[in-house]
Structure 1
């Protein structure tokens, strides 16, 4: 529940802030009459995300085991790619999101194509919704406890909706830069775990060589798949199932937070280490760079901002202005 709650909270808050910016800007322009079109786009994006989740969940039952593993592993890879892209997109676009969204609204209103607002609302939420659906589906497949995982995601989304509404009303001030920095770092670890599980699925299906294929080295004494350095690169890197039962609460917590499984192949470990090392390094390097650039720009062009608004990206306080 913890992992899926945080994912639902982060992704839901991103969508809530975008919708808040759009709704506040339309209200400021005095065009509340077109707000229903925005809500139509938002609702359509939510329905699409739910339909994708339903197809992934129920459609797999008619497939063979190998086909299920191939589809599951491939979609997990897609989820990792989308999460990685969104992490860096939020870092890059957060400071200009307000101007970009308002520009899209202005163009839709000026052209008279008011149904363009439906498309704006749809794209703004569908991007987060599809990413969340794929990520949650991949995590549910690896956890094996769908009800609790989905409950955590639902609570996270509801909390995000409540926070987004309170921020728009000016009732809550949240340091979004710190929030997205911490949750972004958490998503890097989660995505690494999903990547490791995708490798596991594809190894089970025989797409990648590993412990489930003839490429696996065998222990000379037991005849089982070898474990440790002697099993590199297609055997088990480690096997601690005797100490941490695969179905235990500890195993579930470790897998949900850091992507650890009691038994992991060398390809899984290598993929996890490379992803965290490369993506994590770039993420934290970029996180420090915008802060220094922002401070320089502010000192040269405007008076120092107040402590209440300085830490947050531009879209963090825009809904407050619209509400006032």
Structure 2
């Protein structure tokens, strides 16, 4: 899949720069070969029980882990802040995303087809929205990594009940980060389901869910015993990393949907788990996010030094 997406990107870039018909024909030939390989790999008679199980397991684990990290960080934060009443918004968000995903599965299977462009648009805009939100959350958490800062925040802000607007913001963030992963997983699973081996696919998905549940339990258990300053420091860096990853994924998805132009970077590897794709636009988006994070963290440290000198 990665090779096909890369070849498609190069083909679009060649069209945009006005490549010669011969060059375009060569790229079309390469794509035809890749499509033939993909069709052979996805053919029902090519699917074994082992490949179906492994595919279902790895797809759900890969897609689910990213959303899990964000949702667990939100839950851990609310517990640290002793705002248990706000947890229902987070739980409502991710549960609603799963329900919406189930509805999407039914609609995509029995009612209408979901195009690749629709999938990429959903993933692209969802990723960029989550990246912007996590950027602000990460910088905010980094600023509260000092005990006195946290205590001041508790006194000034958290002593008041969480407003309905803030609660629905948590709901929306949890919904978006989970649904964008569910949406993509559904399309992969639809292809696997068409190969047969349905029980094996469900077994692979169930195994991935079990592993994700264990990871979530371990993270929440560890976060309970983590001192508040370390919790905010580690969480801020986690948010920063996810911000950069999502920025790259969002731009890449919008490129595949034809919304953003493609300028290939041949020397950059394709590491989708890190949101790294060989195009100028996606790499630039990640660099901009990294710079924004660095500026935000530096501003926080400057403020800490200023308050320390004042005392």
Q: How does 1:209-228 map to 2 (within 5 A)?
A: none
Look up the SS of the partner of 2:291 in the other structure. helix
Residue number in structure 2 paired with 1:305 = none
Cross-structure match for 2:71: 12
Residue 82 and residue 166 in structure 1: after superposition, are their counterparts in 2 closer, same or farther (change >3 A)? Answer: same
Alpha-carbon deviation of 1:184?
1.8
Per-residue CA shift, 1:268-302, capped at 9, x if unaligned? Answer: x233133123222212222232123223323433x
Q: Structure 2-normalised TM-score?
A: 0.56
| Residue 49 (str. 1) matches residue 94 (str. 2) | no
Report whether the alignment pairs 1:288 with 2:298: yes
* Aligned-pair CA distance for 1:182: 4.6
In structure 2, what is the equivalent of residue 274 of structure 1? 284
Query: 1:220 maps to what in 2?
Result: none
Corresponding residue pairs, total: 232
Give the superposition deviation at 1:84: 1.9
CA contact (8 A) 1:80 1:135 kept: yes
After superposition, the Cα gap between the structure-2 partners of 1:76 and 1:5, relative to the gap in structure 1 and judged at 3 Å, is: closer
Bigger Cα displacement from structure 2, 182-191 vs 79-88: 182-191
Where structure 1 has 5 or more consecutive residues not aligned to the other structure, the ranges are 26-34, 109-115, 210-232, 241-249, 302-324
Does residue 257 (structure 1) correspond to residue 306 (structure 2)? The answer is: no
2:239 corresponds to 1:198: no
Q: Cα offset for 1:122? A: 5.1
Alpha-carbon distance between aligned partners in 1 of 2:112 and 2:168, rounded to the nearest angstrom: 31
**More helix, by proportion:** 2
- Distance (whole Å) between structure 2 residues aligned to residue 279 and residue 74 of structure 1: 20
Mapping for residues 96-175 of structure 1, pairs under 5 Å: 99=153, 103=157, 106-107=160-161, 119=164, 123=168, 125-137=170-182, 140=185, 155-156=211-212, 158-168=214-224, 174-175=230-231
C-alpha RMSD over aligned residues: 4.4
CA distance in 1: counterparts of 2:205 and 2:250, whole angstroms: 14
Contact 2:76 2:220 in 1 (8 A): yes
Q: 1:218-273 CA deviation, whole Å, 9 max, x = no partner? A: xxxxxxxxxxxxxxx77x84899xxxxxxxxx97xx2222444xxx7xxxx23313
Q: Deviations over 1:169-192 (max 9, x none)?
A: 568984432443255224413431
| CA distance, structure 2, for counterparts of residue 150 and residue 270 of structure 1 | 38
Contact 1:6 1:153 in 2 (8 A): no
1:63 maps to 112
Return the alpha-carbon distance in structure 1 between the equivalents of residues 244 and 177 of structure 2: 14
Distance 1:191 1:151, change over 3 A: farther
So what's the TM-score if we normalise by structure 1?
A: 0.54
Q: Distance in 2 between matches of 1:121 and 1:154?
A: 31
- CA-to-aligned-CA distance 1:37-94 (integer Å, 9 cap, x gap): 6565454333212223323444334334xx5233212212221222222222213433
Kept after mapping to 2: 8 A contact 1:8/1:156: no
CA distance in 2, matches of 1:295, 1:128: 32
Q: Distance in 1 between matches of 2:214 and 2:298?
A: 31
Matches of 2:171 and 2:155 in 1, distance apart? 15
3-state DSSP of counterpart to 2:244: helix
Q: Distance in 1 between matches of 2:101 and 2:291?
A: 32
Structure 2 partner of 1:185:
241
Distance of aligned partners of 1:151 and 1:105 in 2 relative to their CA distance in 1, 3 Å threshold? farther
For the structure 1 residues 41 and 88, does the alpha-carbon distance in structure 2 shift closer, same or farther, using more than 3 Å as the test?
Answer: closer
Match of 1:76 among 123, 129, 132: 123
Asked whether the equivalents of residues 12 and 157 of structure 1 are also in contact (C-alpha less than 8 Å), the reply is no
For 1:161 and 1:121, the matched residues in 2 are separated by 26
